[in-house]
Amino acid sequence: MRSGAGKPLTRIGVLALQGDFHEHIQVLESLEVATSEVRLPTHLEGLDGLIIPGGESTTIVKLGDLYGFREAIRAELDRGMALWGTCAGMIVIANELTDDRPTPFGYVDMKVSRNWFGRQVDSFEQDIAIDGIDGDPYHCVFIRAPAVARLGNSVEVLATVDGDTPIAVRSGKILATAFHPELTDDTRVHEMFVNLARNGN
């Protein structure tokens, strides 16, 4: 597939096992990318990027393991595919959790804490400046959101709340956000991920 400028069209898949994958697909369709629901490991073939959406991380890991996604996604990452986990997706791609369950897929050297904000309030919205996103602060929607409790050396913090709690991080071609950009009309985080998938930066 080719876009008007003659450049190959960027292909972004969304893991569609559980959660709000449909909302991501809708945002991606509004950008100049080819997008598809990923329901089987074979659907990963040829993707430039994959999004693991918000939802319930235990269910996503359970179904993912049933279909063999843990190894299949790792193989695509080795090939150079970009990856973005939002909310439950951030939990799924971490290599360690503060919680007993699930056993995350482990692609990013960080420890993530589920329901980090649960003790204060289950859901909230806040305007936050994000590194790599120009213009106004981004309106972040948090729904029983996780946060990063420990970061490996290879992981860069893009945004924090409460002064020092990381809620957006990047490690090479992998992005993780604790909030839900697919639930707002602001496409800037999706554009940042498309660029990462397209150009590697």
Query: Of these residues, 23, 24, 76, 87, which one is catalytic?
Result: 87
Query: Of these residues, 23, 140, 182, 190, which one is catalytic?
Result: 182
Q: How many CB atoms lie under 10 A from the CB of residue 170?
A: 22
Q: How far apart are CB 84 and ligand GLN at their closest, in Å?
A: 13
* C-alpha of 105 from chain center: 13
For ligand GLN, give the closer residue by CB, 33 or 88. Answer: 88
C-alpha 28/C-alpha 24 separation (Å) is 6
Site for ligand GLN, rule CB under 6 A: 54-57, 87-88, 91, 114-115, 143-144
Catalytic-residue membership of 180 = yes
Q: How far apart are CB 189 and ligand GLN at their closest, in Å?
A: 15
For ligand GLN, give the closer residue by CB, 13 or 54. Answer: 54
Residues 6+ apart with CB under 8 A from 118: 144
For ligand GLN, give the closer residue by CB, 74 or 144. Answer: 144
C-alpha 146/C-alpha 118 separation (Å) is 9
C-alpha 183/C-alpha 172 separation (Å) is 25
For the annotated catalytic residues, the residue numbers are: 87, 180, 182
